[in-house]
Amino acid sequence: MARYSIHLFCDECAQTHSLGLMMNLEDGPVEKDSIGNTYEGKDVPESLRTCIHDNCTICPKTNRIISQVGTPNYYNCFLVPIKE
């Protein structure tokens, strides 16, 4: 089990911004990777889907809301391992 910070990709700065949320996952990536790549050909875990569906973040550069609410593109949602 590893702990991950969840980030969304921002078109404005071509970087990812943290949702400020953390999640424990059994089968997450070793290095930062998108949810789309991590769960290619598999079901995205319900807890992760809910997390992406219910949360958004704000780009610190443009103050625009970044979200994947609605029909999420999981290739724009990232799992960042937290080294402890």
Instruction: Name the residues that contact Zn ion, by CB under 5 A.
Output: 10, 12-13, 59, 61
Task: Report the nearest approach of Zn ion to the CB of residue 21 (Å).
Answer: 17
User: Cβ of residue 5: shortest distance to Zn ion, in angstroms?
Assistant: 16
Paired strand residues for 79: 6, 33
What's the gap between Cα 12 and its chain centre?
17
- We find the least distance from the C-beta atom of residue 19 to Zn ion, in angstroms, to be 13
For residues 24 and 62, which CB has a smaller minimum distance to Zn ion in the complex? 62
Burial of 52 (0-12, 13-18, 19+ CB in 10 A): buried
